[in-house]
Amino acid sequence: MPKPHNVLLVGWDGADWKRVQPLLESGALPNLARLVERGVMGDVAPLTPLVPPMLWTSISTGVTPDRHGVLDGVEDDPQTGGVRPVTRQSLAAPHVWDLLAATGVPCRAVGWPATHPAAAPARNSPGATDFLCVSDRFAAGTSDSVWPRELEPEIADLRFSADEWTGADLQLFVPELGKIDQDKDRRLAKLAIALAETATHHAAATALLERSNAGLTAVWYGAAARITELFPETSGPLPAEDAVYAEAVNGAYRFLDLLLGRLVELAGPEALVLVVSDRAAGEPEFHPETGTGSQGILCAGGPGITAEELLFEPGVLDIAPTLLAIFGFQAPSGMPGYVIEELCPEAPTRELPGTGRIGRESAGPVDGHEDESTDASIDLAELRQAGYQDTVAAQRRPEAIEAWVRRTLNLARVLWSQGRTPEAVPLLEAVVPTVASNPALSRYADAPLYLATAYLETGRSADARRLANDLLQADPQSPLASLAAAHLAMADGNARGAEQILRKEALENQRPAAAVSPTTHVALGNAWLRTEQWREAAEAFRSALAADRRMLGASSGLAIALFRQAKFEEAAEAALDAIRLQPHQPAMHDLLGRSMHALGRHDDAAAAFAMRDSMQPVGSA
């Protein structure tokens, strides 16, 4: 396939096939339909937890959140003591356009999360002479939102304000808007704001593409997610005040399709076009009713792409290495994703110049809570002793504490999903007392269960037992009580008792027995492994993977359970899934080799054992 001269990456925040497919079939999205007809389409596996800025930054950097540093939608604001929208201050890894721009590839980025303040490529070089960035704060009118700075006056007038929409404009989304009492119902105003931001991003993107369409252009639109979450889907008839908005979400997708058509036109017929989303907005991370998880979308078309379904479901970490490969560059160290072969069948041959391992090497504790060691904290303490009362900071402190809890929990879960549970334990231990002592943080009441599960995974059964007992004694009627009892049974080595508790809880809540959280399924699977109940263990791990197929502990546990049942073909597949998620796993390479040997595939076995021996030795299954 010839290398394209230009690539267009379009991010639709929260776009969902469940919403998109009916609109495609009805002809309501003609531009996306043309892209699908000449290219590939499929699901995109997100990471957990489903935090949009975290996911979009993983898409644009190709690294996991512990490495790129964006763990939430906000970060600490040192000026107010509260929080502010997340900025480049949290970013610890370069975006893919930074890497490409440093090689001389022209790049433009518009509206992408965690790009403010707009700046030159993080890995600047003399080759980065054609780089333009309009940050995610441009639509809000924030200064320093355009790079280079001299471009800002030229495009400032492209900002579109929500009050510029006419009634006729908004009727395309809400045909019966005349029935809305806007003094009481502010949703129409919020709809206008979401559409205005998207219109602003589009105006900036088209202005930059009109200057030049060479290289990579990345544009991010937030309308699909914001409007879906503003008007969530419900079962049954809608109340009159909600029915008036029944077409708002479909209208948002039609609007995005219209904008896509203009972008594709400006990109030109030889462009490779990718439309990607990070998750399904409005959908939970885990569906208790079905035991399944959220998925994003991917559509791509262009010269040399064969029209077909994606053969292997890509993940958010696969987008950046694929973009690099399209321009002929190998992914740098620290970027764990794979090149999507349907988009780039040729193996890249060039190395990025001067690029070491991408992102942070160690997750470490999360900054921002009870940090009294800094000079600023000492100064504030001295001022308080002198009688000074910073009432603004005091009012904003609770939101900063909650943001710290969120970031710490998010980081713990990210590490956990990579099989790094021992690193997650101290993070969870730091959060649990803060949550327990603060009624305002009750929404994070499941943090102790995460910690109990982490204790079980790391062999600290006594600690898991203590924590589960504390939860049961604190509130026996809590919705979490049955899960605490199940963890208590697992801590006592009673996997069957834990499963019975979970089945009873599912029956009482009229949902499938498999529909508990994937982390609980992994804990149950590990309990079955310890008692050598291989079939039951495999069933538990499969239930976890049905909700989150990128859970490393579930894939590796399933490989062990299948191997112990002499199901060597399936064990090899599960081991390969685990290795794809985390290549540096000597135990999984060992199990893969033993499975291949049992199947008579001796060359493959030898290759797996050689890979195992090249790593630090780890006990085999």
Reported as a pLDDT band with limits 50, 70 and 90, residue 617 is very low
Given a cut of 50, whether residue 378 has pLDDT beyond it is no
Given a cut of 50, whether residue 458 has pLDDT beyond it is yes
**Alpha-carbon Rg of the chain, whole angstroms?**
25
Mean pLDDT within 541-568: 90
Distances in whole angstroms, Cα of residue 527 to Cα of each of 456, 461, 552, 570, 577: 8, 11, 16, 21, 22
Reported as a pLDDT band with limits 50, 70 and 90, residue 456 is confident
Q: What is the C-alpha separation between 199 and 358, in angstroms, rounded?
A: 33
Dihedral of CA 170/172/177/178: which sign?
positive
609 or 522, higher pLDDT: 609
Mean pLDDT within 129-156: 94
Mean pLDDT within 571-583: 88
Mean pLDDT within 147-167: 95
pLDDT tens, residue by residue, 506-524: 666 555 544 467 778 888 8
Name the one residue in this structure whose structure tokens are 């914001």: 226
Tokens representing 217 are: 């252009």
Pairing of strands 107-110, 131-134: parallel
Q: Which residues contact 319 (CB under 8 A, 6 or more apart)?
A: 9, 59, 60, 62, 96, 274, 276, 337, 340
The answer to whether 360 touches 66, Cβ cutoff 8 Å, is yes
Nearest of 130, 124, 134, 135 to residue 105 by alpha carbon:
130
Q: What is the C-alpha separation between 221 and 200, in angstroms, rounded?
A: 10
The answer to whether 218 touches 97, Cβ cutoff 8 Å, is yes
pLDDT at 388: 53
Given a cut of 60, whether residue 380 has pLDDT beyond it is no
> Exposed, middle or buried by CB within 10 Å (0-12, 13-18, 19+), for 208?
buried
Residue 185, Cα to own-chain centre: how many angstroms? 32
Residues in the chain: 621
Average pLDDT, the chain: 87
Q: Which residues contact 602 (CB under 8 A, 6 or more apart)?
A: 596
pLDDT at 374: 36
Dihedral of CA 511/517/520/522: which sign?
positive
Given a cut of 70, whether residue 532 has pLDDT beyond it is yes
> Exposed, middle or buried by CB within 10 Å (0-12, 13-18, 19+), for 146?
buried
Reported as a pLDDT band with limits 50, 70 and 90, residue 362 is low
Q: Which residues contact 500 (CB under 8 A, 6 or more apart)?
A: none
Given a cut of 60, whether residue 311 has pLDDT beyond it is no
Q: What is the C-alpha separation between 248 and 252, in angstroms, rounded?
A: 6
pLDDT at 457: 84
Nearest of 459, 367, 356 to residue 407 by alpha carbon:
367
594 or 360, higher pLDDT: 594
pLDDT tens, residue by residue, 36-52: 998 999 999 888 899 99
Q: What is the C-alpha separation between 428 and 197, in angstroms, rounded?
A: 37
Mean pLDDT within 139-158: 95
292, β-bridge pairs? 287
Name the one residue in this structure whose structure tokens are 């379904």: 309
Reported as a pLDDT band with limits 50, 70 and 90, residue 619 is very low
pLDDT at 402: 95
The answer to whether 481 touches 471, Cβ cutoff 8 Å, is yes
pLDDT tens, residue by residue, 190-226: 999 999 999 999 999 999 999 999 999 999 999 999 9
Percentage of the chain beyond pLDDT 70 is: 87
Given a cut of 50, whether residue 365 has pLDDT beyond it is yes
Q: Give percent helix, percent strand, percent coil of the chain, each to the nearest 5.
A: 50, 10, 40
567 or 464, higher pLDDT: 567
Highest mean pLDDT among 8-12, 295-299, 412-416: 8-12
Per-residue burial over 30-59, b = 16 or more CB atoms within 10 Å of its CB, e = otherwise? ebbbebbeebbbbbbbbbbbbbbbbbbbbb
268: phi then psi, degrees, rounded to nearest 5: 95, 160
Specify the pTM. Answer: 0.85
For 418-517, where are the alpha helices, taking DSSP H only? 421-436, 447-457, 461-474, 481-491, 495-508
419 or 65, higher pLDDT: 65
pLDDT at 513: 46
- Cα angle 324-318-355, degrees, rounded to a multiple of 5: 40
43: phi then psi, degrees, rounded to nearest 5: -85, 160
Given a cut of 60, whether residue 91 has pLDDT beyond it is yes
pLDDT at 377: 40
Q: Which residues contact 563 (CB under 8 A, 6 or more apart)?
A: 571, 575, 591, 594, 595, 621
